[in-house]
């Protein structure tokens, strides 16, 4: 039994090799799973909690195929993903704010403000932006948040779900994802156009 299965494996092996060669030549190479996990881990080193950073980064459409060193592409995807999430989050926050009729909880208020700041910079990103445009956009994001390190929604509300509704928790979680993705994008831009030392405060994104 053992020898016959060994035998059929030996027969099968060249066939598998042949098949995989044929398949490989027809499609773009994809990184092995281990390499992919390592890629997300490295990008997420800037995040305060890398587990939730990895979870959101790996959900970005198109990121799986991007090379580890392709800072330009990673930054671009991060910014567009952050912009998309910000549009979603702003819609949800505006609805909750309206429902709160002028008496929002402190977290809803903080998160709505932070999301609005993000939206002011990110919502009108051109689809095919170049690195300089990405740099300038991130410069604006950094300027928006330079007096809030980290933003109140991230610092005071993340994980503190005791008194908030499920809807409110959803907004906090969305901003947390946006912030993680922005941090990763900010670090990637820094590889292309380093932020000036005076500006290079880890807490600014």
* Contacts with ligand NAG, residue ranges (CB under 6 A): 49, 51, 60-61, 67, 70, 72-73, 77, 80-81, 84, 159
Q: Which residue is listed with tokens 């309206």? A: 98
Shortest distance, position 63 Cβ to ligand NAG, whole Å = 8
Nearer of residues 84 and 113 to ligand NAG, judged by Cβ: 84
Nearer of residues 100 and 129 to ligand NAG, judged by Cβ: 129
Alpha carbons 35 and 44: distance in angstroms, whole number: 14
Shortest distance, position 29 Cβ to ligand NAG, whole Å = 13
Alpha carbons 107 and 169: distance in angstroms, whole number: 9
Shortest distance, position 12 Cβ to ligand NAG, whole Å = 36
Shortest distance, position 83 Cβ to ligand NAG, whole Å = 7
Nearer of residues 18 and 132 to ligand NAG, judged by Cβ: 132
Shortest distance, position 2 Cβ to ligand NAG, whole Å = 47
How far apart are the two ends of the chain, measured CA to CA in Å?
A: 61
Shortest distance, position 72 Cβ to ligand NAG, whole Å = 6
Mapped to the 3 state alphabet, what secondary structure does the chain carry? CHHHHHHHHHHHHHHHHHHHHHHHHHCCCCCCHHHHHHHHHHHHHHCCCHHHHHHHHCCCCCCCCCCCCCHHHHHHHHHHHHHHHHHHHHHHHHHHHHHCCCCCCHHHHHHHHHHHHHHHHHCCCCCCCCHHHHHHHHHHHHHHCCCCCCCHHHHHHCCCCCCCCHHHHHHHHHHHHHHHHHHHHHHHHHHHCCCCHHHCCCCCC
Nearer of residues 73 and 100 to ligand NAG, judged by Cβ: 73
Nearer of residues 97 and 156 to ligand NAG, judged by Cβ: 156
Nearer of residues 104 and 185 to ligand NAG, judged by Cβ: 185
């Amino acid at each position: 039994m053992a020898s016959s299965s060994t035998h059929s494996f030996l027969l099968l092996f060249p066939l598998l090799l042949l098949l995989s060669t044929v398949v490989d030549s027809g499609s773009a190479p994809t990184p092995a799973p281990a390499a992919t996990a390592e890629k997300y881990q490295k990008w997420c080193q800037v995040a305060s909690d890398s587990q939730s950073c990895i979870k959101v980064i790996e959900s970005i459409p198109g990121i799986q195929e991007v090379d580890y060193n392709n800072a330009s592409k990673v930054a671009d995807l991060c910014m567009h993903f952050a912009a998309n999430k910000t549009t979603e989050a702003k819609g949800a926050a505006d609805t909750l704010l309206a429902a709160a009729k002028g008496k929002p909880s402190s977290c809803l208020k903080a998160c709505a403000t932070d999301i609005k700041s993000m939206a002011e910079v990110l919502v009108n990103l051109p689809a095919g932006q170049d690195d300089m445009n990405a740099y300038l956009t991130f410069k604006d994001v950094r300027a928006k948040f330079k007096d809030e390190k980290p933003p109140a929604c991230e610092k005071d509300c993340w994980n503190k779900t005791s008194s908030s509704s499920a809807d409110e928790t959803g907004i906090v979680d969305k901003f947390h994802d946006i912030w993680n993705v922005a941090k990763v994008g900010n670090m990637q831009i820094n590889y292309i156009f380093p932020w000036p030392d005076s500006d290079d405060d880890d807490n600014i994104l």
